[in-house]
Amino acid sequence: MRYIAAYLLLQLANAEATPSASDITKVVSAAGVEVDSERIEKLFAALEGKNIEEVIAEGKSKLASVPSG
C-alpha cells in the first residue's frame, strides 16, 4: 500500500508526469521506511499501459459491490 500511496502522491504533485521507481524509492525512504524494490517493480508491471484515473475508477466500482456493515 505504501508504494501505491507514494505513486499517487507523486502523481498529484505533477499530473503530467509519470512517477518513476526512483521517485517512489525517494518518497518511501524519506518516510523512514525500508524499500522493497521487487514490490515497486510489481506495481509498475501492474500499472503498465494503464491510466491511473481509470484504475481508481475500476477499483471504486469493485468496492461498491463489497458488503459492509
pLDDT, tens only, 17-58: 889 999 999 999 999 999 999 999 999 999 999 988 899 899
Specify the pLDDT at position 40.
Answer: 96
In this prediction, residue 68 has a pLDDT band, given cuts at 50, 70 and 90, of confident
Three cell numbers written together for 43: 506495481
Nearest to 3 by CA among 23, 14, 12: 23
**What sign results for the dihedral spanned by CA atoms 13, 14, 17, 23?**
negative
Residue 25: predicted pLDDT: 96
3-state secondary structure of 13: helix
What are the Cα distances from residue 4, in Å, to 1, 31, 52, 53? 5, 14, 11, 13
